[in-house]
């Protein structure tokens, strides 16, 4: 099962992703892609850490999420990737930029095609384009790339859910 949970900022997507993940078969692994670059984001990461059970195994991946997912697929029955938007952002860093966003996305889609049937993977991502049009070209480019990534992962997913005000709205179920 490949699952995508989308939502805006503070929509409840991470909490719902964690709930679905905890209901899945063990062993479980959470792949955290966000890397704190400021105090507010450090606080958000800390809040996420305290919200989950201490026995949940976590691996912080940044841009290296795809190799981590490939490795985890053979060892874990349930994998939560939180989140695709921060992964895409990390892929734009100087170290990862040589491959480009498109190369990283293609690697992810190839990985999903090889995912073992007994492994459940849940992705969390911000739904792009729900807000005002960004003023800068750089942010508009990122929003477009995130939208394309979400569409590609949704197409490869068995289940897609949009979180609105903490409520899951299922867009796709197989």
Query: Residues comprising the binding site for GTP?
Result: 7-14, 32-34, 49-52, 60, 82
Domain ranges of the chain: 2-173
Active centre residues (catalytic):
48
Query: What is the topology classification, in CATH, of domain 2-173?
Result: Rossmann fold (3.40.50)
Percent of the chain with pLDDT over 70: 85
Query: Residues comprising the binding site?
Result: 7-14, 32-34, 49-52, 60, 82
What pLDDT does 172 receive? Answer: 98
Strand ranges (E), the chain: 2-7, 28-32, 57-60, 78-82, 120-126, 159-164, 167-173
Entry pTM: 0.90
Question: Of 25-39, 64-78, 118-132, 156-170, which range is least confident?
Answer: 25-39
Q: What is the DSSP letter of 128?
A: T
**Per-residue pLDDT tens digits for 96-133:** 555 567 889 999 999 999 999 999 999 999 998 877 88
What pLDDT does 101 receive? Answer: 73
């Amino acid at each position: 099962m490949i699952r995508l949970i989308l939502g805006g900022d503070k929509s409840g997507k991470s909490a719902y992703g964690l709930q679905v993940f905890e209901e899945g078969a063990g062993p479980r692994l959470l792949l955290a892609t966000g890397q704190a670059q400021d105090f507010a984001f450090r606080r958000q990461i800390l809040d996420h850490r305290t919200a989950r059970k201490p026995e949940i195994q976590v691996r912080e991946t940044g841009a290296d999420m795809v190799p981590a997912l490939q490795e985890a697929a053979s060892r874990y029955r349930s994998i939560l990737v939180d989140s695709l938007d921060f992964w895409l952002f990390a892929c734009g860093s100087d170290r990862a930029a040589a491959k480009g966003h498109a190369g990283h996305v293609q690697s992810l889609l190839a990985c999903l095609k090889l995912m073992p049937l007994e492994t459940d993977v849940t992705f969390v991502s911000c739904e792009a384009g729900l807000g005002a049009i960004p003023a800068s070209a750089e942010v508009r480019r990122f929003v477009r790339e995130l939208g394309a990534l979400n569409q590609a992962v949704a197409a490869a997913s068995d289940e897609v859910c949009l979180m609105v005000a903490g409520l899951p709205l299922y867009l796709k179920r197989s």
